[in-house]
Amino acid sequence: MSNRILSGLYAITDSQMGAEQDLPQLVEQALKGGAKIVQYRDKSTDHDRRQADASRLLDLCQRHSAYFIINDDVELAAAVAADGVHLGRDDSDIESARRQLGEQAIIGVSCYNRLDLATAAQDAGVDYVAFGRFFPSSTKPQAVEAEIELLIQAKQTLHIPIVAIGGITPENGASLIDAGADMLAVINGLFRQSDVRAAAEQFNQQFAQKD
């Protein structure tokens, strides 16, 4: 298990971003606004482009002292020496990901609206768990809905960081932090805004107010 401190704004890229806009430029704006973690999420099968994107984003994250996580692809995370990987329900198992990436890798797991999955993941040695969606999401409109009460229960039960995801904006994020979220994972509420850096700064203000 990694001993790195995980908290703050968790920026997640979307597969369409690279096609529509300059992906590294958008990510750099999020980092300048204070994003602490960037997750590269691209479900396409273009291996070469995905590896090139991941390498560029890793370099950006290192320059801004942020962590870089790969979504769902342990092999890509190992190939570019990313800081870690985020696993979903149908992805690689935690044990094999840890074996391949090493003890210092950050491994996170989606737990949707289930505290029992989070407890099992914690026992398996993950570094954080993610719950959600908490609000309507255009990225995953059919995703299972989680209640804010779940964050309160999780904070009382778990001893690893908690990520909240799903339809989060600067306007509704504070309620999730107050309930126990250590990180807010954001896609559209960050990268679909006209000023990505300003949006990131707004999220960071919420964490600062909590401190």
Tens of pLDDT, residues 63-95:
999 999 999 999 999 999 999 999 997 767 999
Q: In this prediction, what percent of the chain has a pLDDT beyond 90?
A: 82
pTM: 0.94
Tell me how far apart the alpha carbons of residues 193 and 25 are, in angstroms, rounded to a whole number: 14
pLDDT in tens, 168-199: 998 999 999 999 999 999 999 999 999 999 99
Q: What is the CATH number of the domain that holds 165?
A: 3.20.20.70
Amino acid at 56: R
User: Does 117 fall in a domain?
Assistant: yes
Active site residue 36: no
- pLDDT band of 12, cuts 50, 70, 90: very high
Contact predicate 182/154, CB 8 Å: no
User: Does 190 fall in a domain?
Assistant: yes
Q: How many domains does the chain divide into?
A: 1
Q: Which domain does 154 fall in, by range?
A: 8-210
User: Does 1 fall in a domain?
Assistant: no
Q: In this prediction, what percent of the chain has a pLDDT beyond 70?
A: 96
At 202 the pLDDT is 96
Pick the catalytic residue from 4, 32, 114, 140. 140
Active site residue 7: no
The mean-pLDDT minimum among 9-13, 16-20, 63-67, 174-178 falls in 16-20
Amino acid at 88: G
- Greatest distance between any 2 Cα atoms in the chain: 43
User: Does 2 fall in a domain?
Assistant: no
Rounded to 5 degrees, φ, ψ at 171 are -80, -30
Pick the catalytic residue from 7, 92, 110, 137. 110
CB-based burial, 39-57: b 16+ in 10 Å, e otherwise: bbbbeeeeeeebeebbebb
Pick the catalytic residue from 7, 36, 41, 133. 41
DSSP characters over 22-51: -HHHHHHHHHHTT-SEEEE------HHHHH
User: Does 3 fall in a domain?
Assistant: no
* Closest listed residue to residue 163, CA positions, set 6, 1, 17: 6
User: Does 74 fall in a domain?
Assistant: yes
Active site residue 41: yes
User: Does 73 fall in a domain?
Assistant: yes
